[in-house]
Structure formats: C-alpha cells, structure tokens
Amino acid sequence: MEPVSSPLSRRNALRLGLGVFATAVAAAAEKPRKLLVISVDGLDHRYLRDADSLGLKIPNLRKITREGAWADGVAGVVPTVTWPSHTTLITGVTSDVHGILNNDRPKEEGGGRYWFRKYLKATPLYDAAREAGIKTAAVEWPVTVDAAIDFNIPEVFERRGAGMDMEAHEKHATPGLMDSIAAEYPSFPQEWMDDRTRTLATLYLLKREKPGLILLHLVDHDEEAHAAGPFSKRSKAKLEYVDELIGQMMQALPKDMCLALVSDHGFERVDRLADPRELLAREGLTGELTLRGTLAWTKDPAVAALLRRHTGESAYGLGREIPSGEIDRLWPTMKGSFLFEPMEHVQFGKPEPRAVSGAHGYWPLRKDYRATYALWGPGVKRERLPEIDMLSIAGRLAAVLGIEFPKK
C-alpha cells in the first residue's frame, strides 16, 4: 500500500474532489428518482470482483454490477466498523465530525450502543430527503432510534441470539408498522430479526407505503464472516442467500426506483494472533505501546524504532508502518503517533490456539481491504468506476434523489 505522497494516493484525493463536483452536476442534470439503499454488512469488494474464482452463485449481484455503475472498491473511514461507517455513508463526513466514534459509546459517557438519533452531530441523508418532501423509510439502519423517518424500524436490541430480538424493535419502530407488515406477511413475527424478516419489511414498504428513500441494513453475512472467516464456504453460502433476498426486492422495485448496493467495511481472515509487546520485554524497553486487534501505536520514538526494525517478522506479526500523511488525513486525533498494522491474516493479541475467524476494523487503506459501492436502475450509466472514497457516497445517493447534499 502506497504512502499518501504516492501517485495512487494523489489520484484518490483528486477523485474525491472530482466526485463531489460530479455529484452536484448530476443532481442538477438528472431527473430525480426513488432510491433503495441496501447495505450488506461486511461485503468486501473482493466478493464481487472475484466472484468467478470464488465460485459464487450470485446472479442478482452480478446483474447489478454488470448493468450498473460499479466502483473498484471503497476506501473507508476510521474506524472501519459498522456504526461509524454506516453513519458516514449517509452523512458524507468522518467519524470525528458526525460523532459516532465506534459501535459502542465510551464507558465514561454511559456505554451502550449509539442507538439514538440525538448522538448524531451531522445531518443525515434521510433528514435532507424529508426536508425536500421525500417520504423516507429505514430498516435496521444504525443510529436511527427516535429519528424523524416516516417508516422506521431502527437497529436496536436488548439481547442477542440467532439475530436481534424483535421485541426491542417493536418498542422503537413507527407505531403500527410491524403489525402492518405481519398482516401482509404472516411469517414475519418471530423471536429474532434476521435478513429474511428485514427483507419482508422492505417488500412491504415497496408494495404498500412507496417511500422515495429506503435505507436497509442486512446483517447476517457479517456474523457468518466473523465466525467462519470471509470467503469461507459458510460465508459464501450466506451471501448467496442474501443474493436471493436482493433478487426479491429487485423484482418489487417500481420503475422509477434505483438500487444502491453498499457496505460498511471489508473483511480479513484471521489465522493467528501475535503480540509485539514481547519485543519490548525482550529489549527491556518500558515505553508505552497500545494494542488493538487491528492496530498498534505508540508516541515513543524508541518503541517505534524497535517495531520498525522487526516489521515483517512472523513472530511479532508487524506489517506496514502507516505513513504520517495517512494518519493526519484519516485519523487526525492521532497526529504525532506511530501506527503499525498487522501482517496479512494476523491480529494483535496474546498468542493462543484459535480457529480461523474473520475481522474488520483494520486501517482503511490496508491492501485490498475495501467496502462496496454499486448503483443500478433507471438512468444509471453502465460503467466501471475507479476506487472511490466512502465520503463521496452520500452525495452520489443524493444525486439520484435530485437533492443537494451534503450542503457545502
């Protein structure tokens, strides 16, 4: 992965600037259309790019990428986890600006998830759409409890099991909405929300309520990829099932509605753990070193120099040192720190026997670790886009709706 000063990084920065301009032009030039945004949690861009070599039976996702505008990966934001990334997708700003800093709130702020709209410091797309007179809906989109959405089933749970408990959803959903869905689809009520029930909710909205903007978050692939690893037999089977569900929604789309396929982050297979703190103990260094599973950092130049000398050694799992320019641009609060990412298929932590699993939360510019974006439907030009920045997606979605967003 090139440092920020490389031609690749300069091109990406230029694309972002041109993307903002292009979406503004598109919004003015194109006829407004309705929009269904489907986020498949953890859909790494390699699932679509390498669908043939992976042997994936995903005819509907293939149709979207074959006939629509499809990006060669999406560079995410820090941290590359579900709730901050989903919020960036619909605000067009980074986590430090929109205020959703992780999936869970800091303990000193009370802990728990960022359930409520009140935690959001930036304007989301659904607010801008509603202000423009567009009817809005959301199914399982993060940070939407108490949001001003016309038809809302927010992502919220009080207990976890095979999915997310439906009782908690009923408490916070638009009054009467889940009863109406159950009347249309008698198999909808069950103990846990899953991608099947999320799809039924969306089919109901498409058929009966006909909103101009629907935000849908499909979760089940992410859970399988964590448990069995991305690109595993189980994860591929789950994605093939998700493809079936997306096919049902594609068939139900009205003629004036586009479909945007997005994801929040890529995925990495994890084979083992490695602990670079062993280096400090061996050398007798007492400087600080902070470890997370996907990053290690220090402000101590001596510690950084030691880590740098052992980068690439399997025993300690140290991969690339992240250039200061990338840190300043993507995680400005860490300016002046030295950051290291783990080697391929490694997480940082105390070594112990473990089965293969999957993880995300890695540095956004990690090699081949990218999210997904594609747009399909009426008025969409068939094209293969270069890699794009997640910050540009909100403007691209707004252009379909014919509204100016984010406002500059």
Condensed to tens digits (0 to 9), the pLDDT of residues 74-108 reads: 999 999 999 999 999 999 999 999 999 999 999 99
Q: Do 385 and 72 form a contact (C-beta atoms < 8 A)? A: yes
Q: Look at residue 28 and tell me whether its pLDDT is greater than 80.
A: no
Per-residue model confidence as pLDDT tens digits over 105-129: 999 999 999 999 999 999 999 999 9
Residue at 342 is within a domain: yes
Residue 1, pLDDT score = 29
Residue 163, pLDDT score = 73
Q: Please report which confidence band the pLDDT of residue 353 belongs to, taking 50, 70 and 90 as the band edges.
A: confident
Residue at 10 is within a domain: no
Q: Quote the mean pLDDT of the chain.
A: 92
Give every CB contact of residue 156 below 8 A, 6+ residues apart in sequence.
113, 115, 145, 164, 168, 169, 171, 172
Is the domain of 159 the same as that of 281? no
330 vs 158, 178, 180, 322, 391, CA distance in Å? 33, 40, 44, 11, 11
Is the domain of 107 the same as that of 253? yes
Provide the domain count of the chain. Answer: 2
Q: Look at residue 225 and tell me whether its pLDDT is greater than 60.
A: yes
Burial (CB count within 10 angstroms: exposed 0-12, middle 13-18, buried 19+), residue 383: exposed
Is the domain of 37 the same as that of 160? yes
Residue at 166 is within a domain: yes
Q: How far does the chain reach from its first CA to its final CA, in angstroms?
A: 31
Is the domain of 75 the same as that of 148? yes
Q: Please report which confidence band the pLDDT of residue 30 belongs to, taking 50, 70 and 90 as the band edges.
A: low
Domain ranges, residue 325: 272-355
Structure tokens at 57: 């039976």
Residue at 153 is within a domain: yes
Q: Look at residue 408 and tell me whether its pLDDT is greater than 80.
A: no
Determine the distance from the C-alpha atom of residue 217 to the mean position of all C-alpha atoms in its chain, rounded to a whole number. 10
Q: Do 40 and 355 form a contact (C-beta atoms < 8 A)? A: no
User: SS3 for 399?
Assistant: helix
Is the domain of 180 the same as that of 234? yes
Q: Please report which confidence band the pLDDT of residue 159 belongs to, taking 50, 70 and 90 as the band edges.
A: confident
For 146-159, give the DSSP string.
T---SEEE----SS
- Dihedral angle at the C-alpha atoms of 123, 127, 131, 133, nearest 10 degrees? 150
Percent of all residues in the chain with a pLDDT value above 70, rounded to a whole number: 92
Is the domain of 147 the same as that of 276? no
According to DSSP, residue 207 is labeled I
Report the alpha-carbon distance of residue 82 to residue 41 in Å, rounded: 7
Q: Do 153 and 200 form a contact (C-beta atoms < 8 A)? A: no
Q: Report which of residues 271 and 3 the model is more confident about.
A: 271
Read off the pTM. 0.92
Strands 338-342 and 357-359: unpaired
Residue at 2 is within a domain: no
Structure tokens at 127: 């607010």
Residue with tokens 């976890």: 160
| CATH code assigned at 224 | 3.40.720.10
Is the domain of 81 the same as that of 192? yes
Dihedral pair phi/psi, residue 381, rounded to 5°? -75, 135
Is the domain of 133 the same as that of 260? yes
Is the domain of 314 the same as that of 204? no
Per-residue model confidence as pLDDT tens digits over 357-404: 999 999 999 999 999 999 999 999 999 999 999 999 999 999 999 999
Residue at 134 is within a domain: yes
Residue at 365 is within a domain: no
Report the alpha-carbon distance of residue 188 to residue 150 in Å, rounded: 20
CA angle 134, 138, 143 (to 5 degrees): 115
Report the alpha-carbon distance of residue 95 to residue 2 in Å, rounded: 23
Is the domain of 174 the same as that of 247? yes
Write out the E strands in 294-397. 295-298, 318-322, 338-342, 346-348, 357-359, 373-376, 383-385, 388-389
Residue at 341 is within a domain: yes
Q: Please report which confidence band the pLDDT of residue 160 belongs to, taking 50, 70 and 90 as the band edges.
A: confident
Is the domain of 206 the same as that of 318? no
Is the domain of 53 the same as that of 86? yes
Give every CB contact of residue 294 below 8 A, 6+ residues apart in sequence.
341, 342, 347, 348, 359, 360, 361, 362, 363
Determine the distance from the C-alpha atom of residue 246 to the mean position of all C-alpha atoms in its chain, rounded to a whole number. 17
